[in-house]
Every structure is written in structure tokens, then in C-alpha cells.
Amino acid sequence: MNTDMVFCDRLLEIIHESFGSMAVIMVAESKIKKGKWIAVFIVALGLSAAVFFWLKKDTGTVPEYVFSYAENQTADYPTTLGGLRFAQLVEERTHGRIRILVQSQGILGSETEVIKQMQYGGIDFARVSIAQMSDFIPEMNVLQLPYLYEDSAHMWRVLDGEIGDRFLEYPQEYGLIGLSWYDAGARNLYCSVRPIRTLEDMQGLRIRVQEAKMMSEMMNALGAVAVQIPYDQVYAALERKQVDGAENNWSSYEAMQHYEVAGYYTVDEHIRIPEMQICAQHTWELLSQEDRDIIIECARESALYERELWTEHEMLARENALRNQVQEIYLSEEEKKKFQAAMEPIYQQYYTDYGKDIEEIFAQGTKGRE
């Protein structure tokens, strides 16, 4: 990561510590929307000072609970801003009784570690990719099958409807409460050694995947060799040539500066992995029904906000990557069909147990699937 990025993240941390979530949201949102972020930073600092004194005057309350919230993205990333909005809403609606401290940049650990800690009550809240939950909540695999959704609208019809509500219940059996769905766009392949234009090009490449069985199966089905590595170590793994490539959405590719070490980006949209805001069961049990309702309501509102930010962030991330000499490659329709066909064994494997769910999801599409 370059020093600018560390500097920006540190600034946002200082603002957060001094002035709270609202100030960070203002500064980082301006960065996403206008790009002139240093200038905006100065203005926002003044405004947030005013907000700070207003909040102090208004809430003076000593919080009854101070909860931790884990987030592995950078301080100005849409999911982090969503988390901050969540914290801000909860604090407002509980009149300062519940304070949630959002810790971004993975400082509380990798997503897998965070989930484990939450099961023991060591961390209260988090936003995680469901890929990281799928090894121990197998139902989650259904929602992240490769080429499952036709597009983003199809995925949101599924998640906003009865299926999405049902899947938010599954983590409960594993000591976690599902609160809301966050967007993470579509994931694409990227590589440092060659542009990937065909299925042939995938053969033998070592590609980093998330720490999840299905992600390895998917990459191996494409003829590559899957290597599971935690998110914060991917840049180093690419730089040291421990792997030849990875796969992620434009926003993560740009935010983690992977474009510096893997400049061929192939838009194949092989997978959409929804993300979930979760609460530890241990924490949930401390709360009254009234507070639980507030938390769910604020989580859902923050999710709408995150989805709004996502589209713009993704677009700017792509533009910035292209400015940095990234070569963008599109798969031909014919090749895309070959990629899809290569995933067939994965469908067969999961169809036995989850055929009904898969059919239900297909039925929410508009193109008609077999």
C-alpha cells in the first residue's frame, strides 16, 4: 500500500476518534463523489467540529453499551461508510445509550478470525463477505454460486425478498445474527503474467481465492490452481509472485491497489457474493427487544446507503485503475459460455442438497434458466 493511502486512512481514523462517525462519512463521501478530497477535508473538519460540540451538548449521556464492529476494508470504502452510518443511526436512536465503534482496515483480524471471535463473543458486530461464512454455514454457498444471478437487479430481487430474509436467519444456529445485506458488485479475474481472454489462458495459473471451499472448487474447475489467502495479504502475494492473479470487484482491486501488481483485468463477472452485517449472539442476548428492533432498522437503512454509494465507487475505481495503465479485457460471449459450462460440476454438487433454493433463485431471473 502506498504512503498516500496510509496517510488518508490515518486522517480518517483521527477524524473518527475526535469527531465521530458523522465527520468520517462526510469526508469520505466527498472523496467518492468529487475526488477533491483534501480540500473537502478542511471544510469537513470545520463542520465536524461544530457537530462535535452539538453532539456533546445534546447527548452528554454515558453509553450503557460500547460495542466493537469489524470491517476489513479501507476507511473510505462504501462498506465502511455503511458501518459508520449504522453506528451513527444507532447512537442517535438510542439517545447515546448504545455506541458502536467501527474498526476498519481489518485491524480486528481477518474475516475468518473475526467470525470465530464473534462466536465466542469477543467482537460484537461485523460486515463480512458470505464467502467467509460458507465453510461452516453451508447454506450460504447457494447465494454465491458462480454465474447464479443474471445481473445486480436479479441478485437484489432475491436478497430483498423472501429468500434473502430466510438466509439472514441461517447464521443464528452458529451463534450469529444476520442483520442486513450489503452490496459487493460482481467479481472479475485479474492476472500479472498474461491477459485472460479464453478458458485456455486460465490453465495452470495460480489464483488467489477467499478462504472458502467453494471458491477453491470454482477456480480449480476453471483449470487454475486455487490458493486461499486472507484479503490483507493478497497484495504481497501478488508482488512476491506467490500467485499469478486473483479475483475481486473493481472497488477492492483499486482500494487495495492490486492494479499495481496485476495489471490485466478480465471482466467475466463469474460471481456475485453478497455481504452481510452480523451481530454476535452473545451481544444480541444483552439487548432488549426494543434495542434489537432499532439495530435491525438501522442496519437495513445503512445497507440502502451502502448500496447507493457502491455504484459510484465501483465506477470511479474502474476509472482510476484504467488511468493507472490497467488493461481491461472483456470475454467474448462464446468464451463466457465456456466459463459457465466449466462450472457445471459445482452446480451438480450443490444441487443435491439445495436444488429447491437454486430453482427458486433462477425463477427470480428474467431470462429463464435450465
Q: What residue type is assigned to position 215 of the chain?
A: M
State the Cα–Cα distance between residues 301 and 167, nearest whole angstrom. 19
- For 14, the grid coordinates are 483521527
Q: Which of 19, 231, 264, 284 binds ligand GCU (CB under 6 A)?
A: 231
Report 262-291 residues binding ligand GCU (CB under 6 A): 275
Q: Minimal distance in Å, beta carbon 356 to ligand GCU? A: 28
Q: Minimal distance in Å, beta carbon 60 to ligand GCU? A: 36
- For 46, the grid coordinates are 470545520
State the Cα–Cα distance between residues 105 and 114, nearest whole angstrom. 12
State the Cα–Cα distance between residues 89 and 49, nearest whole angstrom. 19
State the Cα–Cα distance between residues 234 and 1, nearest whole angstrom. 11
Q: By CB under 6 A, is residue 259 in contact with ligand GCU? A: no
Query: Whose Cβ is closer to ligand GCU: residue 302's or residue 364's?
Result: 302
- Structural contact between residues 187 and 252, judged by C-beta atoms closer than 8 angstroms: no
φ/ψ (deg, to 5) at 330: -110, 135
For the chain, what's the residue count?
370
Query: Whose Cβ is closer to ligand GCU: residue 114's or residue 142's?
Result: 114
**Site map 178..217 versus ligand GCU, x via CB under 6 A:** ------x-------------------------x-------
Query: Whose Cβ is closer to ligand GCU: residue 48's or residue 134's?
Result: 134
Query: Whose Cβ is closer to ligand GCU: residue 124's or residue 211's?
Result: 211
Report the DSSP beta bridge partners of residue 103: 70
State the Cα–Cα distance between residues 310 and 54, nearest whole angstrom. 30
Query: Whose Cβ is closer to ligand GCU: residue 43's or residue 236's?
Result: 236
Q: Minimal distance in Å, beta carbon 109 to ligand GCU? A: 12
Q: Which of 72, 134, 283, 302 binds ligand GCU (CB under 6 A)?
A: 72
Query: Whose Cβ is closer to ligand GCU: residue 76's or residue 275's?
Result: 275
Report 126-155 residues binding ligand GCU (CB under 6 A): 129
Residue written as grid cell 506467490: 242
Query: Whose Cβ is closer to ligand GCU: residue 69's or residue 231's?
Result: 231
Query: Whose Cβ is closer to ligand GCU: residue 129's or residue 277's?
Result: 129
Q: By CB under 6 A, is residue 111 in contact with ligand GCU? A: yes
Q: By CB under 6 A, is residue 80 in contact with ligand GCU? A: no
Longest dimension (CA), the chain: 64
Q: Minimal distance in Å, beta carbon 331 to ligand GCU? A: 20
Q: By CB under 6 A, is residue 252 in contact with ligand GCU? A: yes
- Smallest CA-to-CA distance from 73 within 211, 188, 234, 213 is with 234
Q: By CB under 6 A, is residue 76 in contact with ligand GCU? A: no
Q: With contacts defined by CB under 6 A, how many residues of the chain interact with ligand GCU? A: 10
φ/ψ (deg, to 5) at 64: -80, -35
Q: Where are the alpha helices (DSSP H) in the chain?
A: 3-19, 21-34, 37-59, 78-93, 111-119, 152-160, 162-169, 199-202, 213-221, 234-239, 250-255, 281-284, 289-323, 333-342, 344-363
Q: Minimal distance in Å, beta carbon 231 to ligand GCU? A: 3
Query: Whose Cβ is closer to ligand GCU: residue 41's or residue 181's?
Result: 181
- Within 8 A by CB and 6+ apart from 351, the residues are 358
- For 352, the grid coordinates are 443435491
- Structural contact between residues 52 and 20, judged by C-beta atoms closer than 8 angstroms: yes
Q: By CB under 6 A, is residue 248 in contact with ligand GCU? A: yes
Query: Whose Cβ is closer to ligand GCU: residue 268's or residue 275's?
Result: 275
Q: Minimal distance in Å, beta carbon 184 to ligand GCU? A: 5
Residues at the contact surface with ligand GCU, assessed by CB under 6 A: 72-73, 111, 129, 184, 210, 231, 248, 252, 275
